[in-house]
Structure 1
Amino acid sequence: MNHLVIKILSFSALSWALSGCGQHAVQRDITAYEATTPAGVLMPAPMEASAVRQRMTGQSVARVPVARRAEASVLYENTERYQKNTINPVHRVAEQAVSTFSIDVDTGSYSNVRRYLESNGRLPPVDAVRIEEMINYFDYDYPLPVGQHPFAVHTETVDSPWHKQAKLIKIGIQAKNIASKDLPAANLVFLVDVSGSMSSDDKLPLVKKTLRILTEQLRPQDTVTLITYASGEKLVLAPTSGREKQKILKEINKLQAGGATAGEQAIQMAYQQAQKVFIKDGINRILLATDGDFNVGISDFETLKGIVAEKRKSGISLTTLGYGTGNYNERLMEQLADAGDGNYSYIDSEKEAKRVLQRQLSSTLATVAQDVKIQVEFNPNSVKEYRLVGYENRMLKQEDFNNDQVDAGDIGAGHRVTAIYEIIPVGQKGWLEDSRYQSNNTVTAAQANGQNQEFAFLKLRYKLPQQTQSILMSQPIAASSQPLTSANVDTRFAVAVAAYGQQLRGGQYNGPMGWEQIVQLAQSSVGTDPFGLRQEFVDLAKIAQSLSSQAGKE
């Protein structure tokens, strides 16, 4: 990875810079910063040049005392890291009829991309966009389960707006609800990064706001342990009952940033402390709040991931809460949560902290099903080609589906999971050229409709919490569809979000659907929007549209 180093004004020299003798030097440094920022390249510096200029010109020079001359510049290195994900390919059903993947209930990609569009005024890096996390950020009105299983499965098939001959199969999973008062007792460990890299306003100060929100939700039967780490790890607060909120809040309020980042030993300590007060049949979870910039001790990605994967066998899960810009290691945050049977969220505002920890408290903490895997077998008599939208880093081998030793995603109380397949029915022109020697034309569309009334057969496997043997669910997907305009409002909105994600990744499969059509579809399917999240999405799509237009003009 090539690191980009830029020169910016040091805020430690702000007083000198604003004095009469320093004004010209200030302008020179701003100009140098702007001149070394290539057009169209995101520079996630602590403060953009325009903001630096505003901060400097917004005060009267006469009111600022002359301070000692300090270093006029610092080096800033762009080290944000994302996992490389190649878009899922198109498959011929005649060659590969079965598709298998693990569910994903993370939402961090959506709020991280929002940060790029709103705060940075730039389109996000392609690898920051995970479409399944975009879709699953929103609530959809799926019926609750009524049988013995902890979740219900719903499917709907509509005409695709991306390809004239294609259909979209939407799979929706709705987990049972558990009221907060009925949640089992929780053993929570707050593991907080207080290293020097966490000093900015969008990091440790926002972490403290997040933990205050969660603390206010605690019950007397819940316990909290607070561990911090910088150059070393520290047990700040031994396990403390949720009834002692003021004691917990006092320690949270005292947190300050400084030092290097030694995360590995702190993770080990967090698991040790969680094990000491382990609650059988309860919630045992570590909440790691950091920018992911581990730079002391074991910082190797695979090693850290392996440690967490091994520790999850103890029944203690790991949720990651990501913060900040510039040095943010999103790859580590997302993958640690996956390995730790937890959830990953990116917190870019106090509003997002409330969304994650208040509205989703039960689903974030209480697991109702573990190792949930989906397998779809497409019917070669009715489906010619297919592709899965998103879930690139959740794909499993076909044989993994029946192997209970293979880890997969967990689903919490009240969680909803949505996945979308795009298919080409038999007899229609698809993405792939017909093979000369292995043509799929032996069965006509009319014959297929007469022979079989199914597009596919859907199977799910899951484990109940603390169980080792999986349970199988299955149901057919009927070979019928309806126009997208006739679909329910949730389906139309999910398709708009999927198209938004695809467009941010280059629009390879969006066909004739551009930004204008995405915005129109989203606007027409906002529906009931009690928290304003869908309208916010419409606004984000408009921002992305304007930025794309600007990029096209450069």
Structure 2
Amino acid sequence: MLTKNHKLNTKDAFPLTSPLFCTLAVNLSALNNRLPLWLCCLLLPFWGFGQQVYIRGEVTDEHGKPLANVAILQHSTGYVIRAGAAGGFGILSNRHVDTLTFSMDGFLSRRLPARANEYLKVELKRKPATAGSMSRLASFTQNLSRDFQQPWLTGNETYVSLVENGFVPSGAFPSTGIRLNVDRASYSNVRRFLKMNTPVPPDAVRIEEMINYFNFRYEEPPPGETFSVKSLLTNCPWNSQNQLMLVQLASRKIAPDSLPPSHLTFLIDVSGSMDMPNRLPLLKSGFRSLVQNLRDKDSVSIVVYGGTIGVWLPTAGGNEKEKIFRAIDSLEPGGSTPGESGVKLAYSVAQNHFIKNGNNRVILATDGDFNVGLRSEAELENLIATQTRAGVYLTCLGVGMGNYKDSRIQALAQKGHGNFAYIDSYAEAEKVLLHEFMQTLYTVADNASFTVHFDPAFVKHYRLIGFDNKVGAIHDPLATIEGGEIGSAYASLLLFELEPQVADLHQTIPARFHIQYHLPGDGKMLQRDFAKPINFIPWTALEKEYQLAGSVALFGMLLRNSRYTRNLDFEDVLRLARPALGNGNPSQLEFITLVQQARHIYGKRKKRK
């Protein structure tokens, strides 16, 4: 992609309405390191300047690994060119000696002279840990060493991507931080496996997403506050020696009449892998539900990638719903999955239709099977880091089975300052994009993280339930925790299993809470502290929603084969959950059905053993 330096990353060099030129723009930098000189001459009319020499080279990190999509500023012309998927680049210049600056998110920039008769090998070094880590932690305990966490792994051979959090001594490590988000994809994905009468892969189970699927006990914060925090203690239902601390966070609700105008860019995967009833048809139904919520002042663009990469619908207002419906209904699958090109084009379209002080968002819908262009999670994170524009959010919708790439879609959502949902049914599509429209698409806080400070005088050991980290992040010495995006009217429930230092924690302050975040479009970090005595409520006296949350947590631990629930089974989950059901709540009744199905599936496995 070529852009003028003073408009860096804000506009494509070719008309967006032409799929041919869009494809050329997003793919040229990935090919130019392999173009022969005669072909470069033929491409001169597209670049707009005379070719005299060709500067070639490659970009790697300190370990010699190629770096894709590095931004290369050519000082003689002011243009920015991107390195290809293998780190190679080829640049036309009217000078035999030119100056190039190489930059990439997470790496130190380098400015170097480049000579036409020399193959340039460029090595970029990572920035310090606070700025350049590629690994992102879901939770982080201050001063907790990697050596301390090693026993949580199974030697050096870990067959799942997540490592269950273990008990931590509060005297040595009193503080732990958590990345807040509104993701709930794991629950619907787990449901899909169980309904197919199939065991659930342990790495598909993210307990915090399963708990927060239900949006337990939302209570609006006081006027003028972005968040409220409520906490309580109860018996731990799976370990009678310990206690369970529940921390409820709730975000403010944006009044419907004060919602800003929105421009939504639908980025829809129409490749051949989407040609199944549970993929593209589901997404088309979901997008139709979303469009029903649009107002006259809102607008939509549609970008597709597959056999064709291009702008399917340039733009349409919320008062042109039939036009948008026709564009959605006309989508047909076919071809490969050039996700890299599609993402680049979608962000360009979003920037061209950017609404100042509005709600600007790309909604990516895919099974995640990117088979053309960048593929690894690291490459995808780099892509989003360089393509995410200030003020443009990303929502990812995952579908499919068999080749569904959960980790890739999740990586995109996290890097794109957005959220992530898995669509396994028409009801789920309607839930996410119609009934939870505000939580999914309207942000009240960015870069939100939550820190809990335990008092060793009251708490001997603690264990965060869920928010388990990837193995790679634990091994990465540069890994950092990064805040997430929180939508309107969202409730998040955090669970900690505590080993008390004293027999009675009633009316004590065993923990203090700290939350930090940015308001959308504002770079100022806001912080709030919460500390007050925590009431102890016996498990049987808890509100039913909290009892159900505990049973969902136990269900997730059993699916993950947690070492903390080895003496329990799915019948124990049912004993906890049945008394906690609301009056005819469909999602809660469905949860009981899923537990029964899991009991049936895993019971058969035990008998076979």
Give the TM-score taking structure 2 as reference length: 0.70
* Preserved contact between residue 227 and residue 234 of structure 1 (Cα < 8 Å): yes
- Say if 1:474 and 1:394 are closer, same or farther in 2 by CA, change over 3 A: farther
Matching residue of 1:331 = 407
Counterpart for residue 85 of structure 1: 162
Specify the code of the residue in structure 2 equivalent to 1:389: I
Amino acid corresponding to residue 162 of structure 1 in structure 2: W
Corresponding letter in the other structure for 2:310: K
Instruction: Name the CA distance, whole Å, in 1 between partners of 2:291 and 2:243.
Output: 46
Look up the SS of the partner of 2:593 in the other structure.
helix
2-side partners of 1:359 and 1:464: how far apart?
24
1:105 aligned residue: 182
Deviation at 1:529?
4.9
Report the counterpart of residue 361 of structure 1 in structure 2: 437
Partner of 1:17: none
**1:5-84 alignment runs, 5 A limit:** 84=161
- Which AA in structure 2 matches 1:502? M
Structure 2 distance, partners of 1:379, 1:169, is: 13
Task: After TM superposition, give the deviation of residue 426 of structure 1 in Å.
Answer: 0.9
Q: Report the equivalent of 1:422.
A: 497
Match status 1:95 vs 2:167 = no
- SS class of match (2:531): strand
SS in 1 for 2:450: strand
Distance in 2 separating the partners of 1:414 and 1:501:
25
The Cα shift of 1:376 comes to 0.8
Aligned counterpart in structure 2 of residue 460 of structure 1, from 515, 518, 527: 515
The C-alpha deviation readout for 1:426-476, integer Å capped at 9, x for no partner, is 15xxxxxxxxxxxxxxxxx58x99xx9321111111111111121111122
Q: Does 1:552 align with 2:606?
A: yes
Matched, 1:206 2:282: yes
Corresponding residue number in structure 2 for 1:408: 483
Aligned to 1:191: 267
Contact in 1 for aligned 2:178/2:481 (Cα 8 Å)? no
Selected match of 1:383 from 433, 436, 459: 459
Q: Distance in 1 between matches of 2:529 and 2:487?
A: 20
In 2, distance between residues paired with 1:304 and 1:413? 28
Q: 1:287 aligns with which of 345, 358, 363?
A: 363
How far apart, in 2, do the equivalents of 1:543 and 1:327 lie?
24
Q: TM-score, normalised by structure 1?
A: 0.77
SS of the aligned residue for 2:528 comes to: strand
In structure 1, give the amino acid aligned to 2:493. Answer: T
Post-superposition offset of 1:312: 3.5
Identity of aligned residues (%): 35
Name the structure where strand makes up a greater proportion of residues.
2
Asked if the contact 1:195–1:261 (Cα under 8 Å) also holds between the matched residues in 2, the reply is: yes
Matches of 2:368 and 2:511, distance apart in 1: 41
Q: Which residue of 1 aligns with 2:536?
A: 481
Q: How many Å separate the matches in 1 of 2:534 and 2:219?
A: 22
Shift of 1:308: 1.4
**8 Å contact 1:102–1:394 — kept in the other structure?**
no
Which consecutive unaligned segments of at least 5 residues does structure 1 have? Answer: 1-81, 398-404, 428-444
Structure 1 residues 199 and 181: CA distance shift in structure 2, 3 A? farther
Cα offset, 1:300, TM superposition? 2.6
Contact 1:291 1:323 in 2 (8 A): yes
What code does the residue aligned with 2:170 have?
V
Query: How many residues are matched?
Result: 443
Q: Deviations over 1:472-511 (max 9, x none)?
A: 1112253552211111111101101100100100142236
SS of the residue corresponding to residue 264 of structure 1 reads helix
Write the letter of the residue equivalent to 1:243: N
Structure 1 pair 329–281 and aligned structure 2 pair: CA distance change class (3 A): same
Q: Measure how far apart 1:310 and its partner are.
A: 3.6
CA contact (8 A) 1:190 1:287 kept: yes
- Indicate the SS of the match to 2:163: coil
Alpha-carbon distance, 1:326 to partner:
0.7
In structure 2, C-alpha distance between the alignment counterparts of 1:187 and 1:304, rounded to whole Å: 24
- Equivalent residue letter for 1:423: L
Match of 2:295, SS state, is: coil
Indicate conservation of the 8 Å contact 1:454/1:476, yes or no.
Answer: yes
Quote the residue 2:81 is aligned against. none
Which has a greater percent of helix? 1
Deviation at 1:258, TM superposition (A): 0.6
Kindly indicate whether the alpha-carbon contact (under 8 Å) linking 2:270 and 2:332 is maintained by their aligned counterparts in 1: yes
Q: Distance in 1 between matches of 2:508 and 2:233?
A: 13
Do residues 222 (structure 1) and 278 (structure 2) align?
no
Q: Provide the secondary structure at the position in 1 that maps to 2:524.
A: coil
Task: Provide runs of 4+ in structure 1 moved above 6 Å.
Answer: none
Mark the runs of 5 or more structure 2 residues left unpaired by the alignment.
1-158, 474-479
Per-residue deviation, 1:540 = 0.4
Cα distance change of structure 1 residues 83 and 163 upon mapping to structure 2, 3 Å threshold = closer
| Aligned-partner residue type, residue 470 of structure 1 | M
Report SS of the residue matched to 1:288.
strand
Matches within 5 A, 1:150-549: 150-393=226-469, 407-426=482-501, 453-476=508-531, 478=533, 480-510=535-565, 512-530=567-585, 532-549=586-603
SS in structure 1 of the partner of residue 266 of structure 2: strand
SS where residue 410 of structure 2 aligns? Answer: helix
Task: In structure 1, give the amino acid aligned to 2:345.
Answer: M
Question: Secondary structure of the residue that 1:184 maps to in structure 2?
Answer: coil
- Match for residue 78 of structure 1? none
Deviation at 1:231, TM superposition (A): 3.8
Structure 1 residue 522, shift from structure 2 partner: 1.2
* 1:494-553 C-alpha deviation (Å, 9 max, x unpaired): 1011001001001422365421121121111112454x1011001101111111111110
